[in-house]
Structure 1
């Protein structure tokens, strides 16, 4: 503002020291003064415009500085996000490798073992009472891993692990109906029904057994018991590996 006032005073001084000013006897002084006032007014307006432009430039500079600061902040934030993204990508790659490794190990070390069978594959049979009480399930529905022997009725564990077994029996009321799940000649769980007036009985049971490779599991008749089966599959024996140990 001081610069503008100084400029205005300088211009005014130049106006009043115009050469020949004192020799203009024929000039109308009022007209001359009006022209000079008009000129001064124009100069004042121009000075105001200059001040306004200056203020606008200063405001623009402030906004520009604010924009630069914001861009700098956003750039720093983007760099931070970029580093975090790289860290997440590294962790993701490591997780994918670990999953692939676990999957590969699972495919290599976890055998697929499962079987399911019923007592007869043709006709019908009444089994028992008898001295050889091991039930041989001849009709094999599935035998993944070939751990079940359809000639002996015995399942032999191929690997150490936790196994699930289930069995069901059906019989008529002429004899006791029952069977026992046996592991290495040791009884585990059983089913039992004494003769009743309803004509027939059925039952089932299951167990989860921890087996070592080579352990044998089978189903045998209850003492003096009898079971029945035909192609409807009333008397069955099934099992599978839950997971290896």
Structure 2
């Protein structure tokens, strides 16, 4: 509209100028009018070109907006791809670890880690006084648990079924008439012990614990000190327990 108004004003201006030129013939005015109309057509053509240019500019801006949107989408897709690659890498690492565990299980015959644990006390009935005596091995008759069957209640000896690290604990109870205490033995060698000499009090109680590395077949048991005595009844004062921490 602004362009057309500009053309109309220009045309009117030109006609006004023509009216002031003096005495001219109608043919001169007609020729001038045709010239002006030709210019108008030329200006219309320029307007059309301008409109076409503006449309192209608008199309270019729209194309640029779509391009930017596509770039943003590609950036998001790349980020998602990187995330999926990381997840895939983590899954592959876990898969490799699982395959390694399966391989180890197959190499070990498909068996899980052995379960070994026992807990005992000296007396399974009545009252028991043990010692002083020549056979100083303590045979714990009351068996609370014996998972893995490592403990023999007939001999009082625990035999390690597998190589590993084992935890042992024990307690002893006795009266002041005798030395009270016992020694935890491994393959006939002293490891740790409890010890209470005769005293003025009526009775004594003591306990100890140790972690030992054992090989398959190693023997662990409790043995009295020389001239020592211990006591137990169904209350479980004198005890011996152990379990496998982990195989090696």
TM-score past 0.5 threshold = yes
| Residue aligning to 1:95 | 97
1:43-192 matched pairs, under 5 angstroms: 49-102=51-104, 105=108, 108=111, 110-192=113-195
1:216-235 matched pairs, under 5 angstroms: 216-235=219-238
Structure 2's unaligned 5+ residue stretches are 12-25, 31-36
| Residue aligning to 1:201 | 204
RMSD: 3.6
Give 3-state SS (helix, strand or coil) of 2:111's partner.
Answer: helix
Give 3-state SS (helix, strand or coil) of 2:54's partner.
Answer: helix
User: Once structures 1 and 2 are overlaid, which stretch shifts more, 100-109 or 87-96?
Assistant: 100-109
Task: Tell me how far apart the structure 2 counterparts of residues 106 and 231 of structure 1 sit (CA, whole Å).
Answer: 42
**How far is 1:187 from its partner?**
1.4
**How far is 1:44 from its partner?**
7.9
Task: Tell me how far apart the structure 2 counterparts of residues 159 and 216 of structure 1 sit (CA, whole Å).
Answer: 12
Assess if the C-alpha contact under 8 Å between 2:121 and 2:240 holds in 1.
Answer: yes
Assess if the C-alpha contact under 8 Å between 2:105 and 2:112 holds in 1.
Answer: no
For these two proteins, the number of residue pairs brought into alignment is: 223
* CA shift in 2, pair 1:194/1:97, >3 Å: same
Assess if the C-alpha contact under 8 Å between 2:130 and 2:229 holds in 1.
Answer: yes
**How far is 1:113 from its partner?**
1.5
TM-score, length of structure 2 as denominator length: 0.73
Task: Tell me how far apart the structure 2 counterparts of residues 49 and 144 of structure 1 sit (CA, whole Å).
Answer: 95
**How far is 1:149 from its partner?**
0.9
TM-score, length of structure 1 as denominator length: 0.74
The CA deviation string for residues 133-178 of structure 1, in whole angstroms up to 9 with x for no partner, is 1111000001111111111111122222222211100011111111
